[in-house]
Structure 1
Amino acid sequence: MTVLDETNPANLLSTIDQQLQSLRDEGAEPSAILVGPESYAALKMAVAERFGREPADLEQYQWLTVVLDPFRDNRVCVVPTNRESTAGVRAERVG
């Protein structure tokens, strides 16, 4: 699991997509996307740009719940299920 500092809408979706794929490649099941307020704003913009619509509140991305954590600032993290997390997930912070 990787925690990234990311607020650039141009990079955000590909970063999240890479995190999702990385978890799946490791045999883990992604559970949720945790974002801070700055990353949440960037995520809304990135989704709006990708799908050609106006930015709006976002509850899910790629069928995963988007959780807004006011203490995360600009950090983004795709987390595995609780079962997999308690089994020993290594977290890395990048950025």
Structure 2
Amino acid sequence: MCRYSRGVGFCVEFTIENADGSDLGGPCPPDLTGVTADGGDTGATVFGADVEGCAEGVAPDEFAEAGAAYETKRLQGAGPGATVADASYEEDDYADQPIVWTS
């Protein structure tokens, strides 16, 4: 069970697609971060939580093929008065200019 001292959990659902058939190096989905509707920080982080209905999907064996896709989820938290409205990816080459998906 997930416990929040002050905050609310949000389940971000997304689909991962292999556009060009590259070997993407393992079954773990990208680490997306929840952001508020205005692009700000949600004011909370979730570590080690396991919430029913928000389990991460695992890439299928055939994911190294072009066009292969799978659905996954990522649990994100928001502090008092904040809401997770969008998601961003800001690792590696995207640290200075993250990719942001809006709902």
Tell me the TM-score normalised to structure 2 length.
0.30
* Greater per-residue helix proportion: 1
* Structure with greater contact order relative to length (CA < 8 Å, sep ≥ 6): 1
